[in-house]
Amino acid sequence: MPDSTINRAAQKDALFPLQRLQAYAQGLPVDRLPCVPIVGNTAARVLGVTVSSLRNNGKILADAQIASYRRFGYDNIRVFTDLYTIAEGMGAQIRVPEDETAFLAEPAIQNVSGISGLRPVDPCRDGVLPEQIEAVKRVVQEVGNEVPVTAALTCPFTNASFLIGAVNLSRLVLKDPASVHHLCKLSLESALAYAEAIFNAGGTPSLTDAMSSSSVISPKQFEEFSYPYLKTLVDYIHSKSRSATLHICGKTSPIWDKMADTGADCISIDNDANLLDAKKKIGHRVRLMGNVHPSAIMLQGTPQDIRREVCKCVIAAHDNPKGFVVASGCSLPTETPFENIDAMLDAVREIGYPVSVGLLEEIVNNS
Amino acid sequence: MSDNKEQTFFTALSDAVLDMDEVKVEEIAHRVIKEKIDAYRAIENGLVDGMNRAGQLFEDEEYFIPEILLCSDAMYAGLNILNPYINREQQRTRKKVVIGVVEGDTHDIGKNLVKTLLDAAGFEVVDLGRDVPPAQIVNAAIAEHADVIALSTLMTTTMDGMASVIKILQESGHRDAVKVIVGGGPISQSFADRIGADGYAPSAPAAVKLLHKLFKDSIYA
Ligand code: B12
């Protein structure tokens, strides 16, 4: 284990994340529940650089993620700047504001006639992917022996929406399913290539698929256009003997079973979903991760609010048969106050393990 | 023409919109013209009725975004055929809505639904798209002589853009000329009240009801 004097937050914890996660998975005693406030571009604030400086510079991105991990002491590093890195490599135009998260300016193609011109990415060459991979490599070198290092991977259906536009894709779902599959297959090829590069850098892909949300498409459409591609990705991750985390935001309760059927080991849900219900429905099959509101609570709340909300989540899911990770429902807004992220971890430390529900209910009732 | 026969056409139009059947809508719309059925009523009691039913199924989580988009395509296909046959008196100027997603936010699925249902409900909608700076929204509203500004955002971090729009309206002396309604995930009635908006609605069908309420059911200027 590395020298803990350089790890500020680790001084507050008895175990390093990898030790904690391993013990927790085996049902052995741990100091506290695993905890992951999903830090993305907030890492730029920790390092004191602009958001745009992270995206295409492996060294700065790695330094920011390492600094943030050391500052807060959470249980998983996720290299993530925005959802569009693969689509950009395939021709989508991305706008990169100086100090805010990048976003999609124009999809790669305007209609299905453009599909034949699309090619899967080469992660060693296209767009910002080489630098994102470089970041994974550096983070793994620096702290990979104490904390899991993952990199966000935008899944095929969501990536397809960046290739042809979300509204276009939604229409094609009913009008031209073959073209949707075509776009998803190209996106899958890209995703697999990028996943391989992440593995080669020593990291693990972390799956994210916003457009597959039941806020957008029906459970039946999920089954046809999202599920098969997610399953292929999960199988690939398992072939490398790593565990797979799948995040879908918005409403997800109608597709929980299917999400578990992908084989994912951990499912990350947001505040539009109910942890207690998820535990009852799929808790015997998958670990759950969530779901403190990233904006209403983590961004806008006080440390007191966060303590209360963490307690509520823990009451709901601490006894999830396959385990529970206290987390934000989705990646945190860039300007989330540091003291709120500290508050999440401090609450989890205060709660400790094993969990005493009576104590937590008192905290919730008194706040 | 008997009311009964008319009603059969209206119901068929409404059903075809609900079934996302663009071809059938066009077919029936052409027959409506041939049979000299009132085009205006065919729009209101047929096309718009179908779109309203689709909106209800969306609220009930039976329809999702793809279905709603195809229902609206079918509705527009019918409108294209029937609109030229509406007579002059019926073509009263409609209330005009300028709609957009505020700066910094590119989520536009919800905005598109609101736009479609307002359109279906008889409003004239000018779509400014997504990631639109506050000043540009105000300028467009003034240039278009809009009655309503409809603002959408799904991100907490961009909500302040809505307050900016209202502030610019106030400072430029245009606040009373236009109603401002707001919506999207993080928006609530209390937020709308706080920034001085005229209304908030949690869904696209509710946005239609909101505007009817604000204009006391007379959506025609
Ligand atoms: C699909 C989706 C995406 C798609 C959007 C595709 C598109 N072209 O729109 C993609 C993948 C691109 C995306 C990107 C991002 N997303 Co997103 N996304 C979603 C998701 C899953 C569903 C949104 C949706 O379309 N819903 C369906 C529509 C129909 O619902 P709706 O928009 O709410 O609209 C209805 C009502 O709100 C209302 N309404 C809407 N507008 C208006 C306006 C008026 C005037 C009125 C009256 C009513 C009204 O009527 C609509 C219809 O009934 C939500 C999850 C959620 N909980 O909502 C996250 C969510 C909105 N995304 C979020 C985030 C953070 C992002 C990203 C920043 C992620 C990132 N780190 O890169 C980027 C945004 C980049 C940017 N700057 O814009 C967060 C926002 C958090 C917050 N409160 O700040 C959410 C809530 C997820 C979460 N739990 O954290 N996302």
Mean pLDDT of A23-52: 97
What is the pTM assigned to this prediction? Answer: 0.94
What is the per-residue pLDDT for A10?
54
Q: Is B114 in the pocket of ligand 1 (CB under 6 A)?
A: yes
Q: Domain A9-366 carries which CATH code?
A: 3.20.20.210
Answer whether A296 sits within 8 Å of B186, measured CB to CB.
Answer: yes
Which residue is closest to B61 within chain A, CA to CA? A218
Compare CB distances from A167 to B20, B112, B131 and report the shortest one's residue.
B112
Which residues, other chains included, contact A269 with Cβ-Cβ below 8 Å and sequence gap of 6+?
Answer: A247, A248, A249, A252, A275, A278, A288, A289, A290, A291, A329
For residue B115, pLDDT beyond 50: yes
Does residue A101 surpass a pLDDT of 50?
Answer: yes
Task: Name the minimum distance, in Å, from the CA of B88 to any CA of chain A.
Answer: 35
| Token pair listed for A29 | 């005693």
Q: How far is CA B146 from the centre of its chain?
A: 14
Q: Which of A297, A330, A334, A335 most suits a substitution to test ligand 1, by most atoms within 8 Å of the C-beta?
A: A330
Identify whether the C-beta of residue A299 lies closer than 8 Å to the C-beta of residue B156: yes
Query: Which 3 state secondary structure label does DSSP give A101?
Result: coil
Among A4-8, A90-94, A228-232, B110-114, the range scoring the smallest mean pLDDT is: A4-8
pLDDT band at A12 (very low <50, low <70, confident <90, very high): confident
B65 interface with A at CB cutoff 8 Å: yes
Q: Write out pLDDT tens, residues B173-217.
A: 999 999 999 999 999 999 999 999 999 999 998 999 999 999 986
CA distance A72 to B103: 31
Average pLDDT, chain A: 95
- Any atom of ligand 1 within 6 Å of the Cβ of B170: no
Ligand 1 centroid from CA B161, angstroms = 16
List chain A residues with CB under 8 Å of B190.
Answer: none
pLDDT digits (tens, 9 = 90+) for A185-240: 999 999 999 999 999 999 999 999 999 999 999 999 999 999 999 999 999 999 99
Please give the structure tokens belonging to residue B123.
């409003």
Are A330 and A294 a contacting pair, CB within 8 Å? yes
Contact between B201 and B148 under an 8 Å Cβ cutoff? The reply is no
- Look at residue A11 and tell me whether its pLDDT is greater than 80: no
Give A121 Cα–ligand 1 centroid separation in angstroms. 27
Q: Is the CB of A100 under 6 A from ligand 1?
A: no
The residue to which tokens 């799956």 are assigned: A207
The pLDDT of residue A4 is: 41
- Do the beta carbons of residue A177 and residue A224 sit within 8 Å? yes
Q: Does the CB atom of residue B158 touch ligand 1 within 6 A?
A: no
Choosing among B18, B59, B64, which should be mutated to test the A contact, i.e. which has the most A CBs within 10 A? B64
Tell me if B153 CB under 6 Å of ligand 1: no
- Does A253 score more than 50 pLDDT? yes
- Give the closest residue (by CA) to ligand 1 atom 14: B107
Tens digits of per-residue pLDDT, A158-167?
999 999 999 9
- Residue B109 contacts A where some CB pair is shorter than 8 Å: yes
Mean pLDDT of B146-169: 96
Interface predicted TM-score (ipTM) of this complex, two decimals: 0.91
pLDDT of residue A5: 41
Local confidence band at A7 (pLDDT 50, 70, 90 cut-offs) = low
- Return the half-sphere exposure (C-beta side, CA atoms, 13 A cut-off) of residue B45: 15
Tokens 């540091």 sit on residue: A338
pLDDT of residue A59: 98
pLDDT of residue B121: 85
Which residue's CA is the closest to the ligand 1 atom numbered 82? B155
Determine the pLDDT at residue A356: 93
Contacting residues of A for B187, CB less than 8 Å apart: none
All residues of chain B having their beta carbon less than 8 Å from the beta carbon of residue A170 are 65-66, 69, 109
Residue A309 phi, psi dihedral angles, 5° rounding: -65, -35
Q: Which long-range contacts (CB under 8 A, 24 or more apart) does A125-128 make?
A: A126/A88, A126/A89, A126/A90, A127/A85, A127/A88, A127/A89, A128/A55, A128/A56, A128/A81, A128/A85, A128/A88, A128/A89
CA separation (Å) from A19 to A12, A14, A76, A342? 15, 10, 12, 21
**Predicted confidence band of residue B221 (pLDDT cuts 50, 70, 90):** low
Q: What percent of chain A has pLDDT over 90?
A: 94
For the CA of A41, the closest atom of ligand 1 is: 71
Give the separation between CA B204 and CA B177, rounded to whole angstroms: 24
Strand partners of residue A246: A207, A267
Nearest ligand 1 atom, CA B158: 84
How far apart are the C-alpha atoms of A145 and A4, rounded to whole Å? 12
- pLDDT in the model for residue B87: 74
Residue that has been written with the tokens 């992951």 in this structure: A36
pLDDT at B83 over 90: no
In ligand 1, the atom with minimum distance to the C-alpha of B200 is 47
A330 lines ligand 1 (CB under 6 A): yes
Does A42 score more than 60 pLDDT? yes
| Under 8 Å between Cβ of A318 and A26 | no
Give the neighbor-by-neighbor strand order of the sheet with A204-208. A35-36, A324-328, A287-292, A266-268, A245-247, A204-208, A149-154, A77-79
Cα of A239 from ligand 1 centre, angstroms: 34
Question: Mean pLDDT across the stretch B67-73?
Answer: 95
pLDDT of B216: 83
A97 in contact with ligand 1, CB cutoff 6 A: no
Using CA coordinates, name the residue in chain B closest to A217: B64
Per-domain residue ranges for chain A?
9-366
Packing angle, helices A166-175 and B109-120, rounded to 10? 70
Distance CA A146, CA A140 (A): 9
| Per-residue pLDDT, A2 | 45
Within 10 angstroms of residue B149's Cβ, the number of other Cβ atoms is: 27
Has residue B141 got a pLDDT over 60? yes
pLDDT of the residue at B1: 56
- Nearest residue (CA) to ligand 1, atom 26: A215
Mutation target to probe the A interface, by most A beta carbons within 10 A, among B57, B115, B156 is B156
Given this model, what pLDDT does residue B86 score? 83
The pairing of strands A103-106 and A93-95 is: antiparallel
Q: Which residues of A touch B (CB under 8 A)?
A: 100, 103-104, 166-167, 170-171, 173-175, 214, 216-218, 221, 254, 295-296, 299-300, 333-335
Spatial distance between the Cα atoms of B63 and B184, rounded to a whole number of angstroms? 19
- Contact residues, chain B, for A104 at CB < 8 Å: 106
How high is the pLDDT of residue B219? Answer: 65
Q: What domains, with CATH codes, occur in chain B? A: 3-90 (1.10.1240.10), 96-214 (3.40.50.280)
What does the alpha-carbon distance between residue A153 and residue A2 come to, in Å, rounded to a whole number? Answer: 28
Amino acid at position A165, single letter: G
| Residue of chain B whose Cα is closest to the Cα of A254 | B61
The answer to whether the Cβ–Cβ distance between A171 and B20 falls below 8 Å is no
pLDDT category of residue B90 using cuts at 50, 70 and 90: low
Report chain B residues whose CB lies below 8 A from the CB of A335.
157
Contact B64 A218 (CB under 8 A): yes
Rounded to the nearest 5°, which phi and psi values hold at A97? Answer: -65, 155
Question: Is the Cβ atom of B94 under 6 angstroms away from ligand 1?
Answer: no
